[in-house]
Amino acid sequence: MNGEVVVVDDVARAFADRVTGAFAARPDEDFSIALSGGETARRCYEQLAVAGAEAINWWHVDFYWGDERCVAADDAASNLRLAREALLERVGAAHALYPMRCDEGPERYQLLVGQLGRFDIVHLGLGPDGHTASLFPGSPALESDPGLLVARNEDPAGNNPHPRMTLTFSGIARSRLVLVTVEGAAKQTAMQAVYDGVDVPAARISSERVVWLVDREAAPRQLRGRPPG
Ligand code: 6PG
């Protein structure tokens, strides 16, 4: 696996602190973050809306997505809807929004990511099957050309519904900092596999800096005794 694992008591709070810290240290006037889907992400964004109220000038933040389900923007499964509910409508400001739109195909998003150059943050989760973003075990996008930053994808095992669009590992690698948030006992097996070097998709996450924020229930057994970071 790549990066450092930090065992924390409160994953959402630790995530919000890392984002506000990265915003304060940003090298450019604007700040770009690629958002995740999932319920861990929802809790992280609700916390970020609070922690960032004073610490982040949202007018300087460009929001991208790391993956999206190919559903209507107001569908309960939409990652755009999740971000709107948990963060965007609470902070009420942004410099720009760049939702992933399946009907436009991955090529347009590839150009956006290519023109951006480098995300300040890519936020990822971990599925119980070891997936991250919409990069599922045995799925075609795992083996995409290294030049491909965005791809359509699906879960061949059928455990994760809807056709998807997702950053590839090359797209994820275009980031100054990748934050992976993992919480709950249901993720322990997947997190242990990543930590032990098993070739699950999330083990392939790589970038300039990767930080795994995990709670004690999800932590690899080798780190369980560590005091919270
Ligand atoms: C998605 C997410 C996905 C998610 C994990 C964890 O669109 O579903 O990008 O990768 O982060 O499945 O989700 P939970 O936090 O809900 O377990």
Q: Which residue ranges have their beta carbon within 6 Å of ligand 1?
A: 36-41, 67, 79, 125-127, 131-134
145: helix, strand or coil: coil
Instruction: Give the structural domain span for 111.
Output: 4-219
| Ligand 1 atom nearest 164 alpha carbon | 7
- Asked, for residue 228, whether it belongs to a domain, the answer is no
Residue 124: give its domain's CATH number.
Answer: 3.40.50.1360
- Asked, for residue 110, whether it belongs to a domain, the answer is yes
- Asked, for residue 224, whether it belongs to a domain, the answer is no
**Structure-token match 């409160």, residue found:** 10
pLDDT tens over the chain, length 229 residues? 999 999 999 999 999 999 999 999 999 999 999 999 999 999 999 999 999 999 999 999 999 999 999 999 999 999 999 999 999 999 999 999 999 999 999 999 999 999 999 999 999 999 999 999 999 999 999 999 999 999 999 999 999 999 999 999 999 999 999 999 999 999 999 999 999 999 999 999 999 999 999 999 999 999 987 677 7
- Asked, for residue 67, whether it belongs to a domain, the answer is yes
DSSP 198-213: ---GGGG--SS-EEEE
Specify the pLDDT at position 33: 98
Kindly state the DSSP code that residue 135 receives in the 8-state scheme. Answer: B
**Closest residue by CA, ligand 1 atom 14:** 38
Name every residue whose Cβ is closer than 8 Å to that of residue 125 and which is 6 or more positions away in sequence: 36, 37, 38, 40, 41, 132, 180, 181, 182
Residues 88, 90: Cα–Cα separation, whole Å:
5
- Asked, for residue 227, whether it belongs to a domain, the answer is no
What's the domain count of the chain? 1
Amino acid at 15: F
